[in-house]
Structure 1
Amino acid sequence: RRGDQVLIKPNLLAPRSYKSGATTNPHIVAALIDLSRQLGAKRIIVGEGAAVGHDTEKAFDECGFRVLATDKQVELVDFKKSEFVPMSISNGRVLRRIRVPKELVDSDVIINVPVMKTHDVFPATLGLKNMKGIIPERDKKRFHSWGLSQCIVDLNKVALPQVSVIDGTIAMEGMGPAHGTPVNLGILISSFDTVAADTVASLVMGIDPQSIEYLRLASEQGLGCGIISEIEVRGLEVEEVKRKFSRLVLESGEFLKHGIRIIEEGACTGCRNTLSAVFSKLVSGDQIQLIGDTTFVLGQDAELLADFEGRLFKFGSCAKLICPG
């Protein structure tokens, strides 16, 4: 509506070009800015908080959003520097309160622009998951120990976007959400219902929506429609653009047959993705046997079995603090 404040939330998890498939295509955001202005938006903000350990300001530069903001004369906000406002979640299953940026609270419309990607924890990261980028880093880490899927759902109970535009121009498969392979898909999936958009996107990726826990929970808890037979799909049919996205799974048979055991509970994307990248390189170089008969432990809730034997590799600062030895 005329006079509205609009917040556009892309996915800029790290300083990587959109051509890698890791981050949102700035040309899409530029078009959304133009459309918002045509519809009467008074103030437009593009806001993001990069992944833990990454600099949002650098991501704005490397991903082309600094130039975009200057050209389009919109505000660029690093949520890591925002004033956070506590929000009550009366129907939260895990979260009862969460801090969100003031810019989000003050906005009339939230436009969510995630990238269609595979993920190291879930089969896919899409619209609902993208909203995790608004919260403080400390809470991002805590989500993994509190129950990531339900935390994502509870967050969206107070921060559900009015519009989600899933960027499938250049998507990502394999070691998503950061180190995977770009997929030149050339599509957009948009809806006023983020759950419906995520459901359609997962089917396009060849993934069962029910296998994405946060998406299933969101549908069950009334955040949107996750039943494809009840979703009206306009434009191209799912089958016309469907493509099976590959995904590297840490617990794959390739590792198990070499005696590589992985114990991970509450591990963040940073540790999981880094370990996945190492394993992938060893597999592609036919060198995975070099780390055979080794147990890798990662995550803040990981525990060793009492009868543990063999070589142990503690991966990440959380495992180092929790596991003895």
Structure 2
Amino acid sequence: MPLPESVDERLQQAMKQVLLATVPGLLVLFWWYGWGVLINLILTGVTALTVEALVLQLRKRPIQPTLSDGSALVSATLLALALPPYCPWWLTVSAAAFALLFGKHLYGGVGKNPFNPAMLGFAMVMVTFPQQMTHWPSSHGMDLLGGLQQVFGFSLDQTPDAWAQATALDSLRINNSLTMDELFAGNPAFGQFGGRGMEWVNLAFLAGGAFLLQRQVFSWHAPVGMLASLFIISLLCWNGSGSDSNGSPLFHLLTGATMLGAFFIVTEPVSGAKSPVAKLLFGAGAGLLTYVIRTWGGYPDGVAFAVLLMNLCVPTLERYSASRQERAAS
């Protein structure tokens, strides 16, 4: 008769499956944007594991069990996938260090963080370095040597305008005169239905999320809540293809970090909701806030800020869910 798995073993197994599920999205990102994606991944991974080891040593906690659970590596991976490829190395390292220090260990380590660590690190650098965070490579990126030169600043003759462009979400947010048809026809940041390249990236993360659902790593409530609310609010506010259009529902579903947020961020078990009703409301709130920030806020993609704001609402959502269950039982 097999022995039951411990909590640490279940956590380690879940983290391995999450990492495996990010592979399709990682490969598509690499195909579209080149070596900068892998450079981000290495920088965030090394930084996260180093910070984790140093903090555990300072706290006089065992290092090996915590490092091997995979939680730091998952946070680093999600952060790397969200950051623009070829952003400066110091930005990537700062985001990863902040995520681990202020998103995890400030509250006592794994299982105690009220905020999603990866999104906290992302939000910090988005607020602090908005110019670097709103430019993505305009094509299939550059070779490895060129990518290393760009990231580490070896080549002084390369400027962001020479290889990067504003994202589709940012272009739509600042558009005042062009119709949606003109944007899709003439702006290289736009693809067939959403952001150029990001359509396929989102579909790849959708496939990874479906794998995690099939493996029962998390339930359907939070992802469905987020995608449904984003679809509904974008449909209600969609005013066609005019110059004042906010984008179609399909545009919002296949642009930015939508699928990464729906299947890898709002499903985070520690900072997210626990009960089914609370998970559904948590996801719905994240989807609604994502659209509001994208459309009327100061940042082109609102997934990180939406999730962090909903993290604050988790206690209220859980109390509402519990009282609802009590009323149903009485």
**Fold conserved between structures, TM > 0.5:** no
TM-score (norm 1): 0.27
Higher relative contact order (CA 8 A, sep 6+): 2
Bigger fraction of residues in helix? 2
Bigger fraction of residues in strand? 1
